[in-house]
């Protein structure tokens, strides 16, 4: 990677990290802390307040992605972060569950993931774009692990409102990074239309990648409905769960070198399918642990399975958005990544909902049977993927093979 590419990748990963740390800090403590607010005695309403973020994210990802194609990436990123900051302030000042719901909804409306990843694609060459996307994916995984450690401490010191104030500060720091650290965005020639939005929605390989990110995050959220209970069964107190999560996340980054090597050899399709297979293997392994029932699960076994999951997860988080950016035309890159991130947000919402239902009606093993079935379907859908060409505007029939230009 060149120095400008490293600067672009590092600064945009920083923006993602600051924003996601603020979001993840809320995850472990929201349901418990929300009970202290007026109206917080209704679990269903607490769940709705928590989930509103994902719903408004899903609604605004595509419109803001389209807007970034038309008005410029940085303008939309700053505007979205300002909305996110406003939502954080509203939630910090809230004294009722209704106020928390409004704040969470506003946070979700600042959906800048598509614009940020589109800008990263604009500022990097195709040959290094998977590495650049891996930097963002790695920053998200690190923030998730860090939040598991810090969240209970911060909630004990300053409560939920204090965490939202911290989120506000992190978001303002992200805006400063956009304005003064991220390199200038390249000029786009909008008059040279390279594709139509209607065709984009029919592109077979883009549809496969969108389906893939939906399944990946559905599986991820459903897993985390069940995994904490399994760690408790293994004898690990909930305050110490980070001792399993953090090493698994950090060790998983070593496998990204294998992904980059396969990409250089033109084996990115094989890497993606292998990662899907790895996620499937983990679901089967966790299902077998749950099937053992009364036996106390081994923490080493659970830790090993989580390590394998994060290996697959990180590879997919790096390769899939990279492929979306390559297959989409330049003038619709924000729209393509907006559609991709919309399915990601819907997967987060769906995974939590389905995971809870499966635990209620089928127990922990039912969760992993369901996620394994989803992974098998995902593997079948993704098998015809041919990630070697660019977008074709002939009714979306190109399937990623619209030209002979190699990625």
Distance CA 123, CA 319 (A): 17
Report how far Cα 68 is from the mean position of its chain's Cα atoms.
19
- The answer to the question of residue 270 being in a domain is yes
- Specify the pLDDT at position 399: 37
- Residues 226, 160 within the same domain: no
**Residues in CB range of 406: below 8 A, 6 or more apart:** 266, 388, 389
- Specify the pLDDT at position 388: 53
Distance CA 332, CA 195 (A): 7
- Specify the pLDDT at position 80: 94
- pLDDT tens-digit readout, 340-365: 888 988 887 788 778 777 877 888 88
- Specify the pLDDT at position 390: 44
- Residues 153, 225 within the same domain: no
**Residues in CB range of 85: below 8 A, 6 or more apart:** 110, 168, 171, 172, 175
- Residues 330, 289 within the same domain: yes
| 115, β-bridge pairs | none
Q: Could you tell me the two tokens for 42?
A: 């209704």
How distant, in Å, are the alpha carbons of 119, 121, 206, 395, 402 from that of 392? 22, 19, 11, 8, 4
Domain-terminating residue out of 156, 182, 208: 182
Distance CA 75, CA 99 (A): 28
- Specify the pLDDT at position 204: 87
SS3 374: helix
Domain-terminating residue out of 125, 155, 182: 182
- Residues 153, 106 within the same domain: yes
- Residues 362, 254 within the same domain: yes
Distance CA 394, CA 200 (A): 10
Cβ neighbours of 89 (radius 10 Å): 17
Low-confidence ranges of the chain (pLDDT < 50): 190-193, 389-407
- The answer to the question of residue 292 being in a domain is yes
- Specify the pLDDT at position 219: 92
| 96, β-bridge pairs | 38
Domain housing 51: 1-182
Closest C-alpha among 337, 76, 60 to residue 185: 76
- Residues 214, 280 within the same domain: yes
- Residues 46, 158 within the same domain: yes
- Residues 46, 150 within the same domain: yes
Total domains in the fold of the chain: 2
Burial class (CB in 10 A: 0-12, 13-18, 19+), 341: buried
- Residues 136, 221 within the same domain: no
Distance CA 347, CA 217 (A): 5
CATH code assigned at 313: 1.20.1250.20
- The answer to the question of residue 330 being in a domain is yes
Distance CA 291, CA 226 (A): 13
- Residues 202, 176 within the same domain: no
Burial class (CB in 10 A: 0-12, 13-18, 19+), 361: exposed
- Residues 173, 232 within the same domain: no
* Whole-number percent of the chain with pLDDT over 70: 89
- Specify the pLDDT at position 362: 83
- Residues 52, 138 within the same domain: yes
Name the CA dihedral angle for 109, 113, 115, 118, rounded to a multiple of 10 degrees.
Answer: -160
- The answer to the question of residue 4 being in a domain is yes
Distance CA 70, CA 282 (A): 42
Name the CA dihedral angle for 149, 347, 357, 272, rounded to a multiple of 10 degrees.
Answer: -80
C-beta separation of 362 from 235 below 8 A = no
Distance CA 340, CA 200 (A): 11
Report how far Cα 35 is from the mean position of its chain's Cα atoms.
27
- The answer to the question of residue 236 being in a domain is yes
- Specify the pLDDT at position 91: 93
Domain-terminating residue out of 149, 182, 215: 182
Closest C-alpha among 222, 229, 225, 213 to residue 351: 222
Distance CA 287, CA 227 (A): 11
């Amino acid at each position: 990677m060149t120095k400008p590419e490293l600067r672009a990748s590092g600064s945009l990963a920083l923006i993602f990290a600051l924003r996601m740390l603020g979001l993840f800090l809320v995850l472990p403590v929201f349901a418990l802390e929300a009970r202290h607010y007026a109206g917080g005695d209704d679990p269903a309403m607490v769940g709705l307040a928590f989930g509103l973020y994902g719903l408004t994210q899903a609604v605004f990802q595509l419109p803001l992605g389209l807007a970034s194609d038309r008005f410029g990436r940085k303008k939309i990123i700053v505007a979205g972060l300002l909305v996110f900051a406003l939502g954080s302030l509203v939630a910090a000042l809230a004294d009722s569950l209704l106020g928390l719901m409004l704040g969470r909804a506003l946070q979700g409306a600042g959906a800048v993931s598509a614009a940020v990843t589109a800008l990263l694609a604009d500022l990097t060459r195709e040959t290094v774009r998977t590495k650049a996307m891996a930097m963002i994916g790695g920053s998200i995984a690190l923030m998730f692990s860090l939040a598991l450690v810090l969240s209970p401490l911060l909630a004990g010191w300053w409560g939920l409102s204090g965490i939202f104030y911290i989120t506000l500060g992190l978001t303002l720091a992200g805006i400063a990074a956009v304005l003064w650290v991220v390199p200038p965005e390249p000029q786009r020639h909008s008059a040279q239309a390279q594709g139509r939005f209607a065709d984009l929605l029919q592109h077979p390989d883009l549809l496969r990648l969108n389906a893939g990110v939906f399944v990946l995050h559905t599986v991820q959220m459903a897993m985390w409905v069940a995994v904490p209970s399994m760690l408790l069964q293994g004898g690990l107190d909930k305050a110490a769960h980070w001792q399993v999560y953090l090493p698994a996340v950090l060790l998983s980054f070593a496998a990204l070198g294998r992904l980059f090597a396969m990409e250089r050899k033109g084996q990115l399709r094989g890497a993606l399918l292998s990662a899907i297979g790895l996620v499937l293997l983990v679901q089967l392994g966790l299902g077998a642990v749950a099937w053992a029932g009364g036996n106390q699960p081994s923490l080493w076994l659970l830790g090993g399975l989580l390590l394998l999951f994060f290996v697959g997860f990180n590879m997919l988080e790096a390769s899939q958005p990279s492929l979306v950016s390559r297959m989409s035309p330049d003038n619709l890159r924000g729209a393509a990544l907006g559609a991709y991130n919309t399915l990601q947000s819907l997967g987060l919402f769906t995974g939590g909902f389905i995971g809870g239902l499966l635990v209620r009606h089928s127990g922990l093993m039912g969760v992993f049977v369901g996620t394994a079935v989803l992974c098998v379907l995902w593997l079948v859908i993704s098998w015809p993927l041919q990630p070697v060409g660019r977008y074709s505007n002939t009714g979306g029939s190109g399937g990623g093979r619209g030209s002979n230009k190699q990625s």
